[in-house]
Chains A and B, each alone.
Chain A
Amino acid sequence: MLTQTLAELSRDLKARKVSSAEVTSAYLARIQRFNPQINAFITVLQEQALAEARAADARIAKGDAHLLTGVPIAHKDIFCTAGVKTSCGSKMLDNFVAPYDAHIVTRLKQAGSVLLGKTNMDEFAMGSSNETSFYGPVKNPWDSTRVPGGSSGGSAAVVAARLACAATGTDTGGSIRQPAALVGLTGVKPTYGRVSRYGMIAFASSLDQAGVIAYTAEDAALLLSVIAGFDPRDSTSVDRPVPDYAATLEQPIRGLRIGVPREFFDPGLDRRVAEAVQTALSIYKKLGARVQDISLPNFGLSVPTYYVVAPAEASSNLSRFDGVRFGHRCGNPVDLMDLYTRSRGEGFGAEVKRRIMTGTYVLSAGYYDAYYLKAQKTRALIRRDFLEAFTHVDVIMGPTTPTPAFRLGEKTDDPVTMYLNDIYANGVNLAGLPGLSIPMGFVDGLPVGLQIIGNYFDEARMLGVAHQYQRETDWHRQVPKGFE
């Protein structure tokens, strides 16, 4: 039953073929058995999850269940959960118990889902391999010597290893799509503003967006229908109706205009990944789509732009971690400066410090125009390229990552190589567009992902396009060896 998709489990729960208590117990047993191997959970909520499962069963029995009632899920440890440790993968917040629920936590709770635990992640979501976590790296269930991607690496790994039915994630520069690709799952980053950021610990506010990692586009659609929508507590959340994403999944592909940016097929792209993209495109062609070559001329600016904008915002967002009100405080500070420097020096890891320093630098007097302001201009160019493309295509497709999962430790000494793993992802965040990754095959026995980028607030079409592919393929049904 644990190899079921969320949609299948939901139907069985509703038909009372199985109880949430049974499913939850089974997941908890698997977590106990497998989590030590992959280190994907930071916190497991044994008792709380069982209590929620029993409550869900009662609700199902009463007949007022939502599609997600009783479905066991996991939250990335970046989302505040009332009364539960919320670490953001950092020593800084190792002692932090959130006093409130994030917006999406509330929404999923109200729908009756069961929270199994909080997942491991790169520290403050800064990383592409989950190796910057204070709680140690997460292992890729497909190959324990390889990374699961990041920063939502824990969420990706728990779903891939069947330790949860689905998980939430956040995507600032690829942090949902890239790990989803590297573990063979469906990962969805909605349009910026589609999902409230309230209660999600900020990394780079103008790029951060919450989303989901699940088995299928259908599962993701069910989850997104719950977490999307206006929230007055987030001024950047957009007040427009949320469609029933699951209702439009069967829209036929015939006539769909797919744009494939030629810039994505650069020398950094593994030839076999490129071939997998072509194979996927041939399926769409067979379904009646028109595939056309397009250009995003400023694509090459996306990584440098991203690494100015994101650290700049992060350097300011992370100032609140000062040892004064919450989080790590150094022992016996002698004065205020000592309190600040040691609390922050001890609480933050190397990558976080690197980005705070980069961000502080690009905002400093004398450098602001050359870096921050210029990055705002190149960001506008990147957005314009996408807008131009969407005047003649419906979706854009390409690889999610240049290569399959790399080895643990392989890129930790070379941040730039690490950053390039998100080369196809960063631009989507800079433009604020929705994007997803679905499994499209294997290279060297490791999953690789097809990225589908939609127009603003066109999640419904994007999910439908992904769903039609998944009707034709079974990559999303593959389970890593040892986790069957």
Chain B
Amino acid sequence: MEWETVIGLEIHTQLLTKSKIFSGASTAFGAPPNTQACLVDLGYPGVLPVLNHEAVRMAVKFGVAIGAQVAERSVFARKNYFYPDLPKGYQISQYELPVVSKGSVEIELEDGTSKRIGITRAHLEEDAGKSLHEGFEGVSGIDLNRAGTPLLEIVSEPDMRSAREAVAYMKKIHSLVRYLDICDGNMQEGSFRCDANVSVRRKGEAKYGTRAELKNINSFHFVEKAIEYEIARQIELLEGGGKVVQETRLYDSKKNETRSMRSKEEANDYRYFPDPDLLPLVIEPAFIEAVRKTLPELPDAKKQRFAEHYCLSSYDASLLTASRALADYYEAVVKAVGGEPKLCANWVMGELAAALNRDNKEITESPVSAAVLAGLIKRVLDNTVSGKLAKDVFEAMWAGEGDADAVIGKRGLKQITDSSAIEKIIDEVMAVNPEQLTGYRGGKDKLFAFFVGQVMKASKGKANPQQVNELLKRKLAG
């Protein structure tokens, strides 16, 4: 039996506003519990919400970036349920009339083709606080610092057909919101979270299968794992004659499994209704146009430009444009070098990416600036240092030993390009290896590599390899 998977994602992005969506309290992460919650966030009697217009601007920015409709009139609604970390007993969200609807993004598939993923809607809402269970005896603590933090919930169409596609879509949105500077994308701190709706159906069937909603998955890796597990679980269930029930399931990353949280029957009736404390949100077309003018070059356009203008492969272009910061870094390197985009790309995606990855650093935290990396590449290009030794120079720069010239000077890594000096080394090597010399001259061509190695070793790797090759060939011939 062939099965088809159907996936839709709900992504919660925390907007990068300074203050909360309905109060003036700060949204900074990591403050002691309840120090960033004002009376509005605490849901005190008599207080009222006032909309943060910066959050609206950010939502509009997202809307225009995905080619969506930005509603001229949208409505805030109350989602009613009781929970200790929800101070008012309702969450202010948008329900029937969201601010953004009907957009889409393109994702790239493994076979190199691209696929359009529809975005049903994106709406503004406030985050809840959180319950603290550690360090309390017999009770739970409540931290309301996060309560009222602005979120943009981005709901996709059920357009994805594999866990890989879901991850590609999630990465796309992650990249986009950071490009737009509306979300820091920090998944550890919960600034970017995802729920996945997963169902399976027999191939060719028109109707969707019953779905399960996987809650709060906070890494790309876990999204893939959780969905794969869930697909396998549902298929096994159906093939065994069972039925999938509509429910909310939690992914346990330690055990790599999903388990039931609550079924549809247990689900809350949220009793949504328009929040009478807030007037409908009216957005003038002129405002939408003004926001559109502030859009930066978006990932797709940038990728295309990189591929064309820098003659990079589609793969390289897409890696280099994964984040705006990385793309900016790359372009700064190319500019400082004055060309050689492919060589620059190799350095950025090679040594630099490896070092960032190894030390778990963001591009913005790189100890080697674009100008410094460009300085090294220039020394490679003008033959001051060999490509091989340049890697050592890079590590030294990474460790804080200064720029390329300083490291090359200090460590004496300057390439030897003086022919007579190289010839001298070759003569010495030939003198101490008479057997090999006889062998080579007797037809053992493979011994050429031996001599190259010996010369390079004797020069401590500093001899210009091209010159070594040419001179050796001549000298060995006799």
Binding site for B on A (CB under 8 A): 79-80, 86, 88, 93, 96, 98-100, 102, 197-202, 204-206, 232-236, 312-313, 315-316, 318-322, 324-327, 336, 340, 360, 363-365, 368, 372
The answer to whether B87 and A320 have CB atoms under 8 Å apart is yes
Q: Would you call B47 an interface residue if the criterion is a C-beta within 8 Å of the partner chain's C-beta atoms?
A: yes
- Distance between Cα atoms of A257 and B87 in the complex (Å): 50
Q: Is the interface of B mostly helix, strand, loop or mixed?
A: loop
Report B-chain residues with C-beta under 8 Å of the C-beta of A205: 276-277
Residues of A within 8 A of B142 (CB): 324
With A316-B271, A319-B80, A320-B88 in contact, is A235–B43 under 8 Å at CB?
Answer: no
6 other contacts beyond A79-B46, A102-B46, with CB at 8 A cut-off? Answer: A80-B45, A233-B50, A318-B89, A322-B82, A324-B84, A324-B87
Taking the nearest CB of chain B, how far is it from the CB of A52, in angstroms? 22
Is B48 within 8 A of A198, CB to CB?
Answer: yes
- Are the CB atoms of A98 and B276 closer together than 8 Å? no
The reply to whether A364 and B45 form a contact with Cβ atoms under 8 Å apart is: no
Known: A235-B277, A236-B279, A319-B82. A99 touches B39 (CB 8 A): yes
Chain B 78-90, CB-CB to A under 8 Å as 1, else 0, gives 1010101001111
The answer on a CB contact under 8 Å between A99 and B89 is: no
Does the CB pair A336–B84 fall under 8 Å? Answer: yes
Give chain B residues whose Cβ lies under 8 Å from the Cβ of A363.
80, 271-273
Please state if A98 and B277 are interface contacts (CB–CB under 8 Å): no
Please indicate the chain A residues that have their CB under 8 angstroms from the CB of B272 in the complex: 363
- Residues A326 and B89 in contact, CB atoms below 8 Å apart: no
**Is B97 in the interface zone, CB < 8 Å from A?**
no
Chain A residues with CB below 8 A from B430, complex form: none
List 16 contacting pairs A-B, 8 Å CB cutoff, sorted by A. A96-B45, A100-B39, A198-B46, A199-B46, A235-B279, A316-B90, A320-B44, A320-B45, A321-B45, A324-B142, A325-B42, A336-B84, A360-B271, A363-B272, A363-B273, A372-B273
With contacts A80-B46, A316-B80, A324-B142 taken as known, whether A364 is within 8 angstroms of B269 at the C-beta atoms is: yes
User: In the docked arrangement, what's the CA distance between A88 and B90, Å?
Assistant: 21
Bound form: Cα–Cα A234–B78 in Å: 17
Q: Size class of B's contact patch?
A: 20 to 34
Chain B 11-47 interface mask (CB, 8 Å, partner A; 1/0) = 0000000000000000000000000000100111111
State A315–B271 Cα separation when bound (angstroms): 10
Distance between Cα atoms of A236 and B278 in the complex (Å): 7
* CB neighbours of B279 from chain A (8 A): 235-236
Q: Which residues of B contact A368 (CB under 8 A)?
A: 271, 273
A336–B50 alpha-carbon span in the complex (Å): 30
Chain A residues whose CB sits within 8 angstroms of the CB of B82 once the complex forms: 319, 322, 340
Closest A residue to B278 by CB, please name it: A235
Most A-side CB within 10 Å, residue of B45, B50, B87:
B45
Q: Is B190 part of the binding interface, using a Cβ–Cβ cutoff of 8 Å?
A: no
- Is B49 interfacial (CB 8 A cutoff)? yes
* A319-B46 contact, Cβ under 8 Å, with A205-B276, A363-B80: no
- B residues in contact with A235, CB < 8 Å: 48-51, 277-279
Q: How far is the CA of A98 from the CA of B42 in the complex (A)?
A: 13
Given the complex, which residues of B lie within 8 Å of A86, measured CB to CB? Answer: 45-46
Q: Could you tell me the distance in whole angstroms from the C-beta of A301 to the nearest C-beta in chain B? A: 19
Partner pick for B78 among A80, A232, A316, CB 8 A cutoff: A316
A441 nearest CB across to chain B (Å): 37
- Report the separation of the CA atoms of residues A404 and B370 in the bound assembly, to the nearest whole angstrom: 85
Task: Judge whether B46 and A200 touch: CB under 8 Å.
Answer: yes
Q: Are A201 and B43 in contact (CB under 8 A)?
A: no
Q: Is the interface of A mostly helix, strand, loop or mixed?
A: loop
CA distance A102 to B273 in the complex (A): 26
Q: How far is the CB of A245 from chain B (nearest CB, A)?
A: 25
Q: What residues of B have a CB within 8 angstroms of the CB of A313 in the complex? A: 276
Give CA–CA (A465, B26) in the complex, Å.
49
Bound CA–CA A320/B90 (angstroms): 8
Chain A residues near B51 (CB, 8 Å)? 235
Cα of A93 to Cα of B89 in the assembled complex, Å: 17
Minimum distance in angstroms from A434 CB to a CB of chain B: 19
Q: Is the CB of B45 within 8 A of A88?
A: yes
Q: How far is the CB of A346 from chain B (nearest CB, A)?
A: 16
Find the B residue at minimum CB distance from A79.
B46
* B136 to A: closest C-beta gap in Å: 14
User: Nearest residue in B to A326 (C-beta to C-beta)?
Assistant: B44
Contact of A201 among B39, B46, B90 (CB under 8 A): B46
A236→B277 contact, CB < 8 A: yes
Residue ID in chain A nearest B22 by CB atoms: A235
Question: Are B44 and A316 in contact, with the CB atoms below 8 A?
Answer: no
Knowing A235-B279, A319-B82, say if A98 contacts B45 (CB, 8 Å): yes
A200: chain B residues at CB < 8 Å are 46
**A234, B48: Cβ atoms closer than 8 Å:** yes
| A93-B278 contact given A316-B89, A360-B271, CB 8 Å threshold | no
CB neighbours of A201 from chain B (8 A): 45-46
Q: Is the CB of A93 within 8 A of B45?
A: yes
Determine the chain B residues whose CB is within 8 A of the CB of A233 once the complex forms.
48, 50
Residues of A within 8 A of B84 (CB): 322, 324, 336
* Complex CA–CA separation, A204 to B277 (angstroms): 10
Minimum C-beta distance from A63 to chain B (A):
35
A338 to chain B, nearest CB (A): 13
Task: Please give me the residue from chain A that is nearest to B79 by CB atom.
Answer: A316
Q: Which of B39, B80, B89, B271 lies in contact with A322, CB distance below 8 A?
A: B89
Q: How far is the CB of A355 from chain B (nearest CB, A)?
A: 15
State whether A202 touches B46 (Cβ < 8 A).
yes
Contact of B89 among A232, A312, A320 (CB under 8 A): A320
Most B Cβ at <10 Å: residue of A322, A327, A340: A322
Bound: A235/B47 CA distance, A: 11
- In the assembly, what is the distance between CA of A406 and CA of B45, in Å? 32
* Chain B residues within 8 Å of A102, by CB: 46
A125 CB to nearest chain B CB (Å): 12
* Top 6 A-B pairs, shortest CB-CB distance: A319-B89, A206-B276, A205-B276, A363-B271, A199-B46, A320-B43
Give residues of chain B (142-158) contacting chain A, Cβ–Cβ below 8 Å: 142
